[in-house]
Chains A and B, each alone.
Chain A
Amino acid sequence: MENFLQAIDTLTIRFALAAVLLPLFAFVINICLPGKSNKAAGWVSTLAVLVSCALSVFVFSRAWNQHQVHQGQLWFTIGNIKLSAGILLNNLSVLMLLLVSLIALPVHIYSTAYMNNDENYKRYFTYLSFFCFSMLALVVVDSLVLFYIFWELVGFSSYLLIGFWFTRPKAILANKKAFIMNRIGDVGLLTAIIIIYVVFRTFDIEQLFGANALVRSTAFQVPGGWQYVACGGIFLAVAAKSAQFPLHTWLPDAMEGPTSVSALIHAATMVAAGVFLLARVYPIFDSQELVVLAVIGCFTAFMAATIALTQNDLKRILAYSTISQLGFMIMAMGIGAYASSLFHLATHAFFKCLLFLVAGIVIHQVQHIKDEYQLDIDPQNILYMGGLRKKMPLTFIACLIGGLALVGLPLTSGYLSKDGILIQSFEWAEGKSWLFKLIPIGALITSWLTAFYVARLIVKVFFGEFRLMQFNPHIKLHISDGAWQYRLTLLFLAICCLFPLFSLHPVLYEHAWVFSGFSRITGLDRVNIYHTIIPAGVNIFSILVIYWAYAVYVRQKALPFPESGLLFKLSYQEWYVDKFYNRFIVMPVMTLSKTAQWIDRNIIDGFIHLLQRTGILLSKIAEWTDRYIVDGLLHLIADLVLGIGNFARNFQGGKVQYYLFSMLAIILAIFLFKILI
C-alpha cells in the first residue's frame, strides 16, 4: 500500500515537472527556429502550454485537498550545507499551477492572432514561453533558493516583454523602471532568505513554513530586530512584485508592452506572485506585521482606485485597478483572511485577464482606424472611443461580465471573493479600536470607487456615440469582434468569471471550493450580522454608483466633480507619487551620477590625461635624445668611416698610370726621406 501510494505520488510529481518543463522546451525550440516572424513559434508555444495545462489539471485533480506531495533530491553541497531541489505540491502550489497554465493558454491563443502582424512574432512567443516556464516553476519549487531564482527569472522575462517594442523610448523607460523597482524587492527577498537560513539552517519551504513550521517553533528564535528585517525584506519583495505602495509605480508604465502580455503577466499571474510569496511564508509574520500588511494593502487599494477614477488611458485604468485588487489581496492576508485572499487571487486572474484582452481588441481596432485615416490620436485613450457595443457585441458582453466581476456584483466570481474579504475585514476589526475600523471602511469605499471607474470605463468605451466621428465625420467603421482566437478566449474567460466555476452557491463565499480548500476553520459560523448586511449594502450601493456613472457619462448630466479641483488633480497626477520619486529619488540619483560622471571625466580622467601627457612629453624628449644624440654619435662614426672609405676609394680610379705614378711618388718620397734623415 505504501509503495503504491509512493508510485502514485511519483507520477504526480513527474506530471507536474513535465507541466513546468514543457514551456521551457518550447522556449528552446523557438530560439532555434529560423526567421523573425516564423508562425510555427506560436504553435509550438501554444501546444506546450496546452499540454502543460492538461497536465496541470491532472496534477490538480490528484493533489487538491489530498496529502501534500513533496519530493526532492540533493542538488549540491557546499561544506556542510546540503541544498536540495525538489517539488512541493500542496493546495497552494497546485492551485497556482492550474491557474497560471489556465490563464496562459487563452492568452497564447489570443496572441497568435494579436501578434500576427508583428515582425518579431517569434521573439514574442519565445519570451512568453520563457515566462510561463519561470512562473510555473516558481509556484512548485520547494526551496527558497530555487524560489529566488525563478522569482528573478519571472522579473527578467517581464522586463523583456515590457520592452518588447524596444524601438519605442517609452517602452525602454518602462522596462527599466520595472526592472529597477523589482530589484529593490529582490534585495529584500534575498535578505530575508539569508536571515531565515542563518537562523533555521534550511531552505526547505515545507520544513520552514509547512505543518510543523520551524518559524513558529520555540526551539529557534530569530534574534532581536532581525525578525523585522526579514519580514520587511519579504514585504519589500511583495510590494515590488505585486505593485504595492510605495513600489507600485512600475505597473502602470509596464502597460507599454503588448496588451496580451499585460493580461498574462501584469494582471493575472506575475503580479500575483507577491501574494503567492506571502501565502508561502505566511507563518513567519506575527500579528503586528500582519497589521502593517493590512494597512499597506488597504491604502494601496484605496489610492489606486482613486487614481483609476480619472485616468483616460484604457490600459492605465486597468493597471491601477490591478494594483487596487492586489491591495485587496494583501490586505486580506494582513487581516488573516488567508483563504479569501487566495480565492480573490484566483478569481481576479480570470476577470482581469479578460478585461485586458478586451482592452487589447478595442485598442487594436482603434489603431486600425487611426492607421487607415492617419489620425493623430492615442489609440488607448477612452475619450476617443464610444458606442462600440453595437460593433463588437461579444467583446462588449465579455467586458461587461469582467467588469461586473471586478465590481463584485452577485452571480460573478468576484462577488464571492471580494465580499469574503470585506466581511472578514469587518469581523477582524470588531472589538478593536476605531483606528482598526478604518481598514474595512477603506476597503468598502474602495469597492464603491471600483464600481464607479469600471462603469466609467465601460460607458466611455461601449456606450454613446463613437467620438472619433465628431473629429472626422468621414470615418466608416468596419470593426468587429475579430478573429476566432479572440472570440474563443473571450468566451472561455467570460465563463470562468461567473460563479459556477468556483461555487455552486451563487452568494455564499464559504461554499466556494477554493475558499474551503484553504480555510483552516471548520464549522463556519454565519452568526455574525456582517454576513448579511455587508454583501447587501455593498451591492446595492455599487449598483447605485454604477447607475450614477451611467447617468453622468451617457446622459451627459453635470459632472459630480470639476476637472480642475484639487482632488481631481491629485487623482489625475496619480497622487504625485511618480513626480515625487522623480523629484526626490530619480533626480538626485541622476544629479549624483552626473556629478560622478563629471568627476570621472574631468578629475580622474583629467589626472590620467595629465599622466598621459607627461608620459608623451617624456618619451618625446627621450626620442629626441635617442635620435639626435645617441643615434647622432653612431651616425657620426658611420659617416667618418664612410668618408675615410670614400677617400681611400678615390685612389682606386681604375687608371693604371695613376697607380704607377703614385708608386713612384711614394718611392721617391721614401728616398727623399732617407736622404734627409
Chain B
Amino acid sequence: MIPLSDFLIVSAGLFCTGLYIILSKHNAIQILIGIELMLNAAVLNLVAFGKFDRLNNGGQLFALFAIVLAAATTAVALAIILNVYKKYKTIDPGKIDELRD
C-alpha cells in the first residue's frame, strides 16, 4: 500500500514543475502545458484523497469531470493562442502587453 503522503509529494512536485514552467517559459503553448501539469497535480490529489471515499468514489468522479473540463479549457486556450498568433505574430506572453497602462 502506497501511503498518501507519496501521492501528495508527487502531486506537489508536479504542481511546482507546472508553476515553474508557467513562470519561466516564453511560449504560450509551453505555458499551457505547465497549466495542464498543475491541473493534473490537482487531479492526482483528488484521486489520492478519493481513496477515503470508497462508498461514492466522489474523488474519482470529480477527477473525471476535471479532466474533461481541462480538455475543454485547453481547446479554448489553444484557440485563443491561435488568434493571438494571428494578430501579433507571436505567442510570447511577455511581448503581448497591449493591455498595460
| Chain A positions near chain B (C-beta within 8 angstroms) | 649, 652-657, 660-661, 664
- Min CB–CB distance B21 → chain A (angstroms): 11
Across-interface contacts of A652 in B (CB, < 8 A): 100-101
Once bound together, how far apart are the Cα atoms of A657 and B31, in whole Å?
10
10 residue pairs of the A-B complex, CB under 8 angstroms, read A652-B100, A653-B97, A654-B98, A654-B99, A654-B100, A655-B93, A655-B94, A655-B97, A657-B93, A660-B23
* CB-CB under 8 A for A653 and B93, given A661-B23, A664-B19: no
Across-interface contacts of A649 in B (CB, < 8 A): 101
Question: Are B22 and A660 in contact, CB atoms less than 8 angstroms apart?
Answer: yes
Across-interface contacts of B94 in A (CB, < 8 A): 655-657
Across-interface contacts of B93 in A (CB, < 8 A): 655-657
Across-interface contacts of B98 in A (CB, < 8 A): 654
Across-interface contacts of B100 in A (CB, < 8 A): 652-654
- Min CB–CB distance B89 → chain A (angstroms): 17
Supply 18 further A-B pairs (C-beta < 8 A) apart from A655-B93, A656-B94, A664-B19.
A649-B101, A652-B100, A652-B101, A653-B97, A653-B100, A654-B96, A654-B98, A654-B99, A654-B100, A655-B97, A656-B93, A657-B22, A657-B24, A657-B31, A657-B93, A660-B22, A660-B23, A664-B23
Across-interface contacts of B31 in A (CB, < 8 A): 657
Interface string of B47-87 (1 = CB under 8 A from A): 00000000000000000000000000000000000000000
Across-interface contacts of B22 in A (CB, < 8 A): 657, 660
The count of chain B contact residues (Cβ–Cβ below 8 Å) is 13
Top 3 nearest A-B pairs (CB, nearest first) are A654-B97, A654-B100, A655-B94
**Nearest B residue to A653 by beta-carbon distance?**
B100
Once bound together, how far apart are the Cα atoms of A664 and B16, in whole Å?
11
Once bound together, how far apart are the Cα atoms of A464 and B19, in whole Å?
138
- Min CB–CB distance B47 → chain A (angstroms): 25
Once bound together, how far apart are the Cα atoms of A652 and B101, in whole Å?
7
Across-interface contacts of A653 in B (CB, < 8 A): 97, 100
**Which one of A649, A657, A661 has the highest number of Cβ atoms from chain B below 10 Å of its Cβ?**
A657
Once bound together, how far apart are the Cα atoms of A71 and B100, in whole Å?
103
Across-interface contacts of A655 in B (CB, < 8 A): 93-94, 97
Once bound together, how far apart are the Cα atoms of A653 and B93, in whole Å?
12
Across-interface contacts of B101 in A (CB, < 8 A): 649, 652
- Min CB–CB distance A642 → chain B (angstroms): 14
Across-interface contacts of B99 in A (CB, < 8 A): 654
Once bound together, how far apart are the Cα atoms of A674 and B22, in whole Å?
26
Once bound together, how far apart are the Cα atoms of A649 and B100, in whole Å?
9
- Min CB–CB distance A380 → chain B (angstroms): 96
Once bound together, how far apart are the Cα atoms of A232 and B16, in whole Å?
127
B1-39: which have CB < 8 Å to A?
Answer: 19, 22-24, 31
Once bound together, how far apart are the Cα atoms of A492 and B8, in whole Å?
147
**Nearest B residue to A657 by beta-carbon distance?**
B23
- Min CB–CB distance A328 → chain B (angstroms): 109
**Nearest B residue to A658 by beta-carbon distance?**
B94
Once bound together, how far apart are the Cα atoms of A654 and B100, in whole Å?
5
Across-interface contacts of B23 in A (CB, < 8 A): 657, 660-661, 664
Across-interface contacts of A664 in B (CB, < 8 A): 19, 23
- Min CB–CB distance B32 → chain A (angstroms): 13
Once bound together, how far apart are the Cα atoms of A139 and B77, in whole Å?
119
**Nearest B residue to A649 by beta-carbon distance?**
B101
Once bound together, how far apart are the Cα atoms of A652 and B98, in whole Å?
11
**Nearest A residue to B25 by beta-carbon distance?**
A657
Once bound together, how far apart are the Cα atoms of A653 and B94, in whole Å?
9
Once bound together, how far apart are the Cα atoms of A649 and B31, in whole Å?
26
Across-interface contacts of A657 in B (CB, < 8 A): 22-24, 31, 93-94
Across-interface contacts of B19 in A (CB, < 8 A): 664
- Min CB–CB distance A665 → chain B (angstroms): 10
Across-interface contacts of A660 in B (CB, < 8 A): 22-23
Across-interface contacts of A656 in B (CB, < 8 A): 93-94
Once bound together, how far apart are the Cα atoms of A654 and B101, in whole Å?
8
Once bound together, how far apart are the Cα atoms of A132 and B70, in whole Å?
120
Once bound together, how far apart are the Cα atoms of A657 and B96, in whole Å?
11
**Nearest B residue to A655 by beta-carbon distance?**
B94
**Nearest A residue to B24 by beta-carbon distance?**
A657
Once bound together, how far apart are the Cα atoms of A655 and B98, in whole Å?
10
- Min CB–CB distance A657 → chain B (angstroms): 6
Once bound together, how far apart are the Cα atoms of A132 and B99, in whole Å?
95
Once bound together, how far apart are the Cα atoms of A262 and B33, in whole Å?
122
Once bound together, how far apart are the Cα atoms of A655 and B101, in whole Å?
12
- Min CB–CB distance B22 → chain A (angstroms): 6
Once bound together, how far apart are the Cα atoms of A664 and B97, in whole Å?
20
Once bound together, how far apart are the Cα atoms of A652 and B99, in whole Å?
9
- Min CB–CB distance B39 → chain A (angstroms): 16
- Min CB–CB distance B29 → chain A (angstroms): 14
Once bound together, how far apart are the Cα atoms of A661 and B99, in whole Å?
18
Once bound together, how far apart are the Cα atoms of A164 and B93, in whole Å?
96
